[in-house]
Amino acid sequence: MKRPTVTDLANAAGLSVSTVNRLLHGTGALRPDTVERILNAAQSIGFYGLGILRERKQTNLPQRKLGFLLQQSHRAINRLWADAIVTAAARRVDTLIKPVIEFEDDLSPEAVAGHLLALGEVCDALAVVTADHPLISQAIDELRARDTPVIAYITDLSAASRAAFVGTDNWKAGRTAAWFISQMAHRPGKVFPFVGSHRYQCQDISDASFRSYMRERAPAFVVHETQLTNEEPQIAFEIVRRLIAEEPDLVGIFVAGGGISGVLRAMRAFDAPRRQDIKIVCRDIGPEAQKGLAEGLITAAVPHSLKRMPEELIEVMLDRIEGRGQTSIQQRIVPFDIVTPESAWT
């Protein structure tokens, strides 16, 4: 049987021989749908160069370098976010993505702004997790002037020049946390929300909606002043240890920000009856939170989705690269997960 020729392949695909040769020899970029037509035709007629065509499909793809500025490299949850971003980037079949993931351990706005500007020198688009601050907004303005889109990730920013926000519905997350505590607590009592910083919009909104639910649906509970952890487990540990010692009516803790490992360490220092009397809901799903769920110390977690969030983020980043110059701010809201001790994965 005669081996199919390039002409046969072109006829089967309904394209010119020159177009097929461009893909075979890698001499020019083709539209992704055109590449798929050639590959499908090659497979249907048994074209001898199918393996080469599949390789050319990869090299024909557009290439993008995407920058991701995350926080605190020592926190396991942030390492999980980095791994999830790399995995999501590798799953893209329409674009070759080189993810550039960097961490900023210094959470001061000066450090974050400087790091963001430096990363913008080498990337097509950026995503950043950071507290809201005018210095951050200025850096985003400067990057916008360079035609480098910046996407606020997990927590939104007030910067008018940001290209997009990818996160969850933090209002619903806070009310969900309040529902768990009010339903699971053995009795009404005192409840304390924790945030890492008042400048993280996701935490501040969750805190406000938590209080909203308690006022509306659980008025017998007393929600106290929000405790500030500065995203440091040791500070969270000291606060919880003091509260348990000084507040016999403590029945609930909502950890809207960082510090869950410190909260759990403090809880483990007390006897089982006291631990069981305090219901904890957090927004973390790192190794420490998973361990706390398995131990029954955490009643529920309402975290951002480690799988869907990075996928949506990369989709938005690529879209904003193609739509450079757009003035509208894109918003992508991803449903948060709900994890209980009985549904936690290991």
**Within-domain flag for 344:** no
User: Is 276 in the same domain as 291?
Assistant: yes
**Within-domain flag for 154:** yes
**Within-domain flag for 130:** yes
Q: What is the pTM of this model?
A: 0.85
**Within-domain flag for 112:** yes
User: Is 108 in the same domain as 74?
Assistant: yes
User: Is 25 in the same domain as 130?
Assistant: no
Q: How many of the other CB atoms lie within 10 Å of CB of 40?
A: 12
User: Is 141 in the same domain as 183?
Assistant: no
Note the pLDDT of residue 110: 98
User: Is 103 in the same domain as 252?
Assistant: no
Note the pLDDT of residue 39: 87
How many domains are there within the chain?
Answer: 3
Instruction: List the one residue out of 274, 255, 263 whose CA is nearest residue 186.
Output: 274
Identity of the residue numbered 206? S
**Within-domain flag for 175:** yes
**Within-domain flag for 345:** no
HEC secondary structure over 243-304: HHHHCCCEEEEEECCCCHHHHHHHHHCCCHHHHHCCEEEECCCCHHHHHHHHHCCCCEECCC
**Within-domain flag for 247:** yes
User: Is 91 in the same domain as 126?
Assistant: yes
User: Is 164 in the same domain as 311?
Assistant: yes
User: Is 278 in the same domain as 211?
Assistant: yes
Token code pair at residue 46: 């048994």
Note the pLDDT of residue 24: 85
Token code pair at residue 307: 């799988």
Note the pLDDT of residue 1: 58
Task: Give the end of a domain, one of 60, 83, 103.
Answer: 60
CATH of the domain at 291: 3.40.50.2300
User: Is 184 in the same domain as 204?
Assistant: yes
User: Is 39 in the same domain as 115?
Assistant: no
Beta pairing partners, 332: 166
User: Is 161 in the same domain as 217?
Assistant: no
Task: Give the end of a domain, one of 18, 41, 60.
Answer: 60
Q: Where in the sequence is the domain holding 122, given as residue range(s)?
A: 63-168+306-333
Note the pLDDT of residue 344: 86
Q: Compute the distance between CA of residue 289 and CA of residue 339 in angstroms, rounded to an integer.
A: 10
Note the pLDDT of residue 332: 97
pLDDT digits (tens, 9 = 90+) for 34-52: 888 998 999 999 998 888 8
**Within-domain flag for 312:** yes
Note the pLDDT of residue 325: 66
User: Is 159 in the same domain as 184?
Assistant: no
Q: How many of the other CB atoms lie within 10 Å of CB of 281?
A: 26
Q: What are the 10-residue block averages of pLDDT along the chain, 346 residues in total?
A: 86 91 81 86 88 77 93 94 97 90 96 98 98 98 96 97 98 98 97 96 98 98 97 96 96 95 96 95 96 97 96 97 83 97 83
> CA torsion sign, 193 to 335 to 168 to 219?
negative
